[in-house]
Structure 1
Amino acid sequence: MIDKIKMYWIFVRNFIVFAITAFLMKLFPKYNVQLRKWAARSSIPTCINEIEIKGNIDEKADIFIANHQNMIDADIIEFLLPNVDLCWVAKKEVENLFLFGNLLSKSGAISIERENKRSLVELIKKADDRLKKGKQFIIFPEGTRNKNPKKLLPFKAGAKLLAEKYNLKVQPLLLLGIDKIITFDPLKVKKGKLTVIVLPTKKPKKKTNWYKELEEEMQKTVDEYYEGK
């Protein structure tokens, strides 16, 4: 009973934090980056009591890519990159999510329709504007939340096209262990340790298999993490 009360308190508390953030972002749009970072600092410690980072995150990378398992992944990334003005690239369906969609739209995120080539063209056009504003991109290349923490979904083309078009330096990140902290069947929150594995940055090389090789490298890292667990 006590665990359930704690779990519901975490959800209610964080909902209030996000609601306040969305409201303030609407009133003070020029402070949207600071507000997003505040929301991340306020929410992440409620469910994660330790973060182990293996490797050094290059905050000067142009585009960050990460695996995607949970609805709090976005806040984790904002928490890990306190000095980076992130431009999120997200599937269009997220725009319709109550509160989260509002937060994304206010932050200047770019939404795309999966498997829609026209949408990818729009991504390239809008990305030029965001780059001129000094933003750095974050994208989940799997395209959606993955229910299997041990097996990455096939990477979508968006990150590849973006990196190659603008010759962006890519910083791969793996968020591991979140499946033990928040579960959905049944819904449960148990404070735990998150492991972040930082792979070396990559420079895209056109007409090579760099993107597929990166996917394989990230999957190998996931395999090594879960081996024996």
Structure 2
Amino acid sequence: MKIFAKISWLFATIIIMSSLALMIIFYYLAPRPYARKISAWLIRLGTFFTVEIQGKEDKDAQMFLINHQSDLDICIMETITSKDLAWVAKKELFEIPFFGLALKLPEDIAVTRESKTSLLKLLKDAKDRIDKKRVITMFPEGTRSTKSKMLPFKSGAKMLADKYKLRVQPVVIMQSAKYYNVKEFYYKPGRIKAIYLDSFIANKQDKDWLNNLRTKMQKVYDDELSNNPSHR
């Protein structure tokens, strides 16, 4: 079974990489965000996973904050919204050959952790994307957590949302690492659930809103896990 899972993972990875290559080509043929949307749908269809949506997307949302477990998370978000997403990712990813190009062409936002200069650039770049009616999209944990507990949220999300008083909508993605896990070379098709939570306007006077949001998102995750056996 483990050998079959690794073969399946290789198949899914080939689909993902091929779709990214097509996205780079599509970028020169189709306006943003269609190149990335097409690529995301090719991955979703090619890897045979479906998405169940709970809650309602706020059409006025300016920022999505999402928990992060798997490389499928970007694909999930791109296929459940028609919005033009501007992803915030660590600078190192932009420097990876081929993959970095898939981030640079759509003008995603690079950030260097623990760098004040980078944070200033993040604010400037985010303002540019917001003015272009794009939605800032972040994994506030900063990296993948393949377990059921979310990592502490990084302060950059709060700083950015507070600065521009953004309308923030959290999204909880359930158990995506159960279906595609790059660390364990594991993949299987299935149905992944994405839960839209209520949006809110960021308020810098509330110094704990980001930590409280993590607690709220974790509770939604835990409740869904307890009440829906299919996630286990």
TM over 0.5: yes
Return the alpha-carbon distance in structure 2 between the equivalents of residues 3 and 224 of structure 1: 29
In structure 2, give the amino acid aligned to 1:69. Answer: Q
Partners of 1:3 and 1:69 lie apart in 2 by: 18
What is the correspondence of 1:6-85 to structure 2 with a 5 Å cutoff?
A: 6-25=8-27, 27-28=28-29, 31-81=31-81, 83-85=82-84
Return the alpha-carbon distance in structure 2 between the equivalents of residues 97 and 224 of structure 1: 38
Could you tell me which runs of 5 or more consecutive residues in structure 2 were left unpaired when the two chains were aligned.
Answer: none
The one-character-per-residue Cα deviations of 1:5-61 (angstroms, maximum 9, x if unpaired) are: 554333223322211211332x34x61311111001111123353321111111320
1:151-201 deviations in Å (ceiling 9; x for gaps): 111111111111111111001001112122113454121111101111110
Give distance in 2, aligned partners of 1:93 and 1:130: 21
Q: 1:46·1:191 contact (CA, 8 Å) conserved in 2? A: no
**How many Å separate the matches in 1 of 2:176 and 2:85?**
22
2:186 equivalent in structure 1: 188
CA RMSD of aligned residues (A): 2.0
Identity of aligned residues (%): 33
Q: AA paired with 2:22?
A: I
Number of matched pairs: 225
Output the CA distance in 1 between the equivalents of 2:7 and 2:151.
34
Q: State the match for 1:114 in structure 2.
A: 113
SS of equivalent residue, structure 1 residue 15: helix
Taking the aligned partners of 1:68 and 1:5, their CA distance within structure 2 comes to 24
Query: Secondary structure of 1:211's match?
Result: helix
Task: Tell me the secondary structure at the aligned position of residue 57 of structure 2.
Answer: coil
Task: Quote the Cα distance in structure 1 between the aligned partners of 2:35 and 2:104.
Answer: 14
- Change in CA separation of 1:136 and 1:112 when aligned onto 2, cut-off 3 Å: same
Separation in structure 2 between the aligned mates of residue 7 and residue 143 of structure 1, nearest angstrom: 24
Q: Supply the AA of the counterpart residue of 1:164.
A: D
TM normalised by structure 1 equals 0.90
